[in-house]
Structure 1
Amino acid sequence: MTTEREITIKRLHFRCWHRGTREMDFLMGRFADTVLEKLDDEQLKRFEALLELPDPDVYAWILGQKPVPEDKQTDVLDLLLEMRKAT
């Protein structure tokens, strides 16, 4: 039987690889492949909230083209930014 957590992870994984642009598919999809299952339930909620934000804003934050607004700064976004810097 599939748990609610597994369903959530699968849904988020799909959303990461189907963002609408190749760049975001790659950035978010790689993050999902690498980190998603390691996140706790609260972090998964924060990540899902991040996926609800406009892709152009998130993309600009990831590339460092725009500063991340204080109210959008989370530990999950920090993980995403760290992964981006490591590549």
Structure 2
Amino acid sequence: MSDELPAHRIKRLHMRSMRRGIKEMDLILSAYAGQALVGMSDADLSLYDRMLDENDHDLYLWVSGQADAPAEFQPLIADIRSRLASAKTG
């Protein structure tokens, strides 16, 4: 989708974040998307888009720290976890 406008891409990714398979990931990823997507580079948005293709149960295990994410997603998962922790304490 190289011809996709940045605003449309962010909106599409935000919608994909909200409509997952399990409610926990809907909540986690929609909150993250609302905070982070606008400030992401094109490469970061592409990585996030690829991560959204992953299975929800795997994503939940990664975000909750119950399993290690693949190396490609580790920085992104760490950012999600960090923002989630900040939201809980802030």
Take 2:16 and 2:72, find their aligned partners in 1: how far apart are those partners?
23
Take 2:9 and 2:31, find their aligned partners in 1: how far apart are those partners?
17
Runs (5+) with no aligned partner, structure 1: none
CA positional deviation for 1:66: 1.0
CA positional deviation for 1:77: 2.3
Deviation track 1:43-79 (CA, whole Å, cap 9, x = no partner) reads 0000001101111011001011112232432x32221
Runs (5+) with no aligned partner, structure 2: none
CA positional deviation for 1:83: 1.3
CA positional deviation for 1:24: 0.6
For 1:67, what is the secondary structure of its paired residue?
A: coil
The answer to whether structure 1 residue 76 and structure 2 residue 80 are counterparts is no
Take 1:63 and 1:35, find their aligned partners in 2: how far apart are those partners?
19
Residue in structure 2 matched with residue 60 of structure 1 by the alignment:
61
Q: Structure 1 pair 36/78, CA: closer, same or farther in 2 (3 Å)?
A: same
| Aligned pairs for 1:5-84 within 5 A | 5-73=6-74, 75-84=75-84
Deviation track 1:15-59 (CA, whole Å, cap 9, x = no partner) reads 001112211100000001111101111100000011011110110
Cα RMSD for the two superposed structures: 1.5
TM-score (norm 1): 0.86
Say how many residue pairs are matched: 84
Contact 2:62/2:77 (8 A) holds in 1: no
